[in-house]
Amino acid sequence: MEVIDKWVAEFIIRRQQNPRVSPSNLLSALRFGDSPDCLKLKISSVLRDISNSLIRGTIDEGTLDLLEMLEKLHLQEHSVLMESHKSAYCWTAVECTVRFMWPLSSSDGFFTDALERIWTKRIEVLKESGSGLVSNELLKWEADLKIALEDSEMYQRIRESNIRYTAISLLNQLLKEQWEILGSSALELVSQRTFLKRKAQNVDNRGDPNHVDESMRRGTSEEEDGNENNRENANDVEGVRCLEGDGIDKVNAADEEETMSAQEEEPEPSLDKGDKTVARELKEFLLEIQGHIDSSTRKEEQEPNNGIDYSVDVTPQPARGNRTGTSRQVRNETPDSANEKGSGSQGTWSGRVGPRLPTPVPLNVSPLKKENSNARRPKKFWTPEEVEGLREGVKEYGRSWKDIKNANPTVFAERTEVDLKDKWRNLVR
DNA sequence: GTAGGGGTAGGT
DNA sequence: ACCTACCCCTAC
């Protein structure tokens, strides 16, 4: 039973967007031990927690806790601390501090408290324990932030910089690399082995290996890179394909050698067919169950404020035609997402026909861009709330209209970045 | 992506 | 007529 628990826990943890399952709670409920398998599960859980907090748009001291926890787990695994981990920790710590820099002066508000709590206490503990997270970059920021306490020019400079964006990018990069290192889930490895075994039997029975190979290859023509097939993981099922290998520290992959060796003996372009089938079936069941449990979930996920991954996905979106995007009305019904292409419609989501997991809705910075360049949007006066939001936004992000809009998608749902720019121009005139 | 100039529509 | 928001263009 425990093995099944582990597999299911792993599958659930690796799923993206499952707000009803907290990985930490799941693990503590199942009381796993300290075996290498469980260590991987714990790492997955921490990664999922970080990912969930990014999805919620939250970067706080809880994120720092998670990053510290991740380091400890890697220490237990005797693996090397990655640069992306150090950078993500550094910039998250800075973001946690800078968020308290909203007053104009360092003596107002809670900046001093944050500096004390994060840099004097928390990071001091890390230094004493010899943590690898204490990088040169971190020490430099520590010095700068302490200078900012006295030097108002430095304070303003840091206050006006966009730390949050960098922190999100680095956390995203960390997640990408860490999921990559974790590799295939246990279920997928088992399915690969089973598939290999079955294939071997088929070959024996038929005495015609070419026959099997050809039939298997047909379904996986999109996978050109046969040697990397074992790196498919459950995340890929959900369209969150990890980048393939380049420059990734693979020290942690050592514990996979045992299972990988089976494949190395017989590298086949079609090896991933088995795990894809298992993953697909599991996905279908989960979708069906989830559809029954909570049919309202999808609706909520369509709300702009709950747009799932836009705060996480910092990769550039495909360029949209200038002023030729879909109109506001059309967008609300059919989000203009590349991920949607070729997928089932919303109506089929809870069914078994063409099921798919919720697709992250990419942030469209300017949903108000017009389809018909002749039509003019109706004039809408700025509300005091919008003006206030704009003032706050400029304080926090400077004249980065896109960031201001992204930070407050609800308030600025009806405004483009250009609107923000124009309004600000009017305000300062 | 943003700034800034300048034009225009629509409301008062 | 005036004001404000929206739009277009160009430059960086």
Output the pLDDT for position A133: 92
The percent of residues above 90 in pLDDT, for chain A, comes to 3
Q: Are residues A147 and A206 in the same domain?
A: no
Strand C atom within 7 Å of A107 CB: no
A290 lies in a domain?
no
Q: Which of the pair, A308 or A188, is modelled with greater confidence? A: A188
- In whole numbers, what is the pLDDT of chain A averaged over residues? 65
Q: What is the CATH number of the domain that holds A359?
A: 1.10.10.60
Mean pLDDT score, A85-89: 91
CA–C1' distance A397–B10 (Å)? Answer: 32
Using the CA of A368, which nucleotide's C1' is the nearest one? C6
Residue A150: how many CA atoms within 13 Å on its side-chain side? 4
What is the per-residue pLDDT across A110-121, written as a single tens digit (0 to 9) for each? 888 889 899 988
Mark out the alpha helices in A82-162 (DSSP H runs): 83-98, 111-114, 123-128, 136-150, 152-160
A170 lies in a domain?
yes
Which residue is nearest to the C1' sugar atom of B9, using CA? A376
What is the per-residue pLDDT across A214-268, written as a single tens digit (0 to 9) for each? 334 333 333 333 343 443 343 433 333 333 333 333 334 333 333 443 343 333 3
CA–C1' distance A420–C1 (Å)? Answer: 27
The listed range with the strongest mean pLDDT (A144-148, A191-195, A266-270) is A144-148
Strand B atom within 7 Å of A402 CB: yes
**Are A402 and A420 contacting, i.e. CB atoms less than 8 angstroms apart?**
no
Domain count, chain A: 3
CA–C1' distance A381–B9 (Å)? Answer: 14
CA–C1' distance A385–C3 (Å)? Answer: 21
Q: Are residues A195 and A124 in the same domain?
A: no
A99 lies in a domain?
yes
What is the per-residue pLDDT across A39-68, written as a single tens digit (0 to 9) for each? 787 888 888 888 888 888 888 888 998 899
Question: Which nucleotides along chain B are within 7 A of a protein C-beta?
Answer: 1-4, 6, 9-11
Range of the domain at A266: 188-223+232-240+249-279
Output the pLDDT for position A275: 53
Q: Are residues A273 and A413 in the same domain?
A: no
Q: Are residues A175 and A50 in the same domain?
A: yes
CA–C1' distance A332–B10 (Å)? Answer: 26
CA–C1' distance A355–B1 (Å)? Answer: 37
Q: Are residues A208 and A333 in the same domain?
A: no
Of the candidate ranges A24-33, A132-141, A155-164, the one whose mean pLDDT is the lowest = A24-33
Q: Are residues A15 and A94 in the same domain?
A: yes
Q: Are residues A341 and A257 in the same domain?
A: no
Q: How far is residue A327 CA from its own chain's centroid?
A: 28
Q: Which of the pair, A21 or A110, is modelled with greater confidence? A: A110
A295 lies in a domain?
no
Output the pLDDT for position A182: 81
CA distance linking residue A298 with residue A303, whole number of Å: 9
Using the CA of A317, which nucleotide's C1' is the nearest one? B1
pLDDT surpassing 90 at residue A169: no
CA–C1' distance A298–C10 (Å)? Answer: 43
CA distance linking residue A298 with residue A251, whole number of Å: 39
Output the pLDDT for position A273: 52
A288 lies in a domain?
no
CA distances from A412 to A63, A178, A324 (A): 27, 35, 20
pLDDT surpassing 80 at residue A199: no
The pLDDT-based confidence of A89 (bands split at 50, 70, 90) is very high
CA–C1' distance A426–B5 (Å)? Answer: 14
Strand B atom within 7 Å of A379 CB: yes
Question: Which nucleotides along chain C are within 7 A of a protein C-beta?
Answer: 4-9
pLDDT surpassing 70 at residue A17: no
Mean pLDDT score, A323-346: 33
CA distance linking residue A267 with residue A428, whole number of Å: 65
Which residue is nearest to the C1' sugar atom of B3, using CA? A421
Q: Are residues A38 and A172 in the same domain?
A: yes
Q: Which of the pair, A111 or A320, is modelled with greater confidence? A: A111
pLDDT surpassing 80 at residue A309: no
Output the pLDDT for position A377: 82
